[in-house]
Structure 1
């Protein structure tokens, strides 16, 4: 199944200061999350951001916060899976009721919150797309294990280029011209 901008929503999981600082390849993960967020904003794809215990881990990092619009939602949680948090679950389901059953997932940590969220989303009838180049863990091995497990669990493992090009569908459009710098 290809991604569709009309059926998609973007979920950015726990990209917070104190946690991001410990992530292997943190600059790359952050850049890829920004890339996805820019594309979602340009294509009017709804965005949800989770924050794991922000009192301890800090808020979502400024480079992402600066890109968020008024319609985007940032919700706190203490659960590892976003689906186990009532407010996040309701937000994701509300967007699904609007026809957005594809959840594109980026963030940290790949082997904990991202994996648990993707598996729970699949179990609840969503199509989960985990963006491999936009997820990270403190240890490389943990990220590798998460990507392998996600592929076996029914989630689609994609990269940010795949997401953006599938959302765009074709070249030559105003949206393509706007987003081309992100993928060249």
Structure 2
């Protein structure tokens, strides 16, 4: 199954300022997620972002937060973004494909992905845009999600599948500004 921009929502999970310093390669995870958010916005793909207990873990990092649509931001206390009310009611929540990035791979990302799969969604997890405190936990989380039916992808897979074809003005712009 291919990722299609018209069917996709980008879901950014818990990239919060107090949590990120503890994440292995946290700065790189934020950089990759920011790239995905900018790409999604350029291709009119809705973006939803969550914050796990922001009173304790802080809000999404400022650089990324300024890119996020206010109507697509959801606070949560459950580890899964699908638990409780609201995720599927946000703009883009009705779409069938979810492209997922964020932290922690083996906790909130994993539980959200399992919830999305249980809700009948197609789920794609962007390998370089997820992270955990320990690399082993990230690897185990990715393996479990893949066994459950999620597809592990790279950011360029997302970009090229959302674009669908070369030779268009949009392709040239994305290639110049995102692919390099």
- Are the equivalent residues in 1 in contact too, given 2:49–2:68 (CA < 8 A)? no
List, as ranges, runs of 4+ consecutive aligned residues in structure 1 with deviation greater than 4 Å: none
RMSD: 1.4
- 2:100 counterpart (99, 105, 110): 105
Deviation (angstroms), 1:172? 2.3
Partner of 1:124: 119
| CA distance in structure 2 between the aligned counterparts of 1:150 and 1:116, rounded to whole angstroms | 9
Partner of 2:48: 48
Q: Distance in 2 between matches of 1:106 and 1:15?
A: 9
Aligned residues: 179
**What TM-score, normalized by structure 1, do the two folds share?**
0.92
Q: Deviation at 1:67?
A: 1.7
Asked if the contact 1:104–1:128 (Cα under 8 Å) also holds between the matched residues in 2, the reply is yes
Q: How does 1:82-97 map to 2 (within 5 A)?
A: 82-91=81-90, 95-96=93-94
Structure 2 segments unaligned to the other structure (5+ residues): none
Query: Is residue 136 of structure 2 the alignment partner of residue 141 of structure 1?
Result: yes
- Match among 167, 170, 177 for residue 172 of structure 1: 167
Q: Deviations over 1:46-68 (max 9, x none)?
A: 11000000011111111111222
| Structure-1 separation of matches of 2:172 and 2:75 | 35
Name the SS of the counterpart of 1:103 in structure 2.
Answer: strand
Q: Is the 8 A contact 2:51 2:75 kept in 1?
A: yes
TM-score of the superposed pair, with normalisation by structure 2: 0.94
- CA shift for structure 1 position 88: 1.9
Correspondence for 1:67: 67
Deviation digits for residues 103-131 of structure 1 (CA, Å, limit 9, x no counterpart): 00000000000011111111110001111
SS at match of 1:84: coil
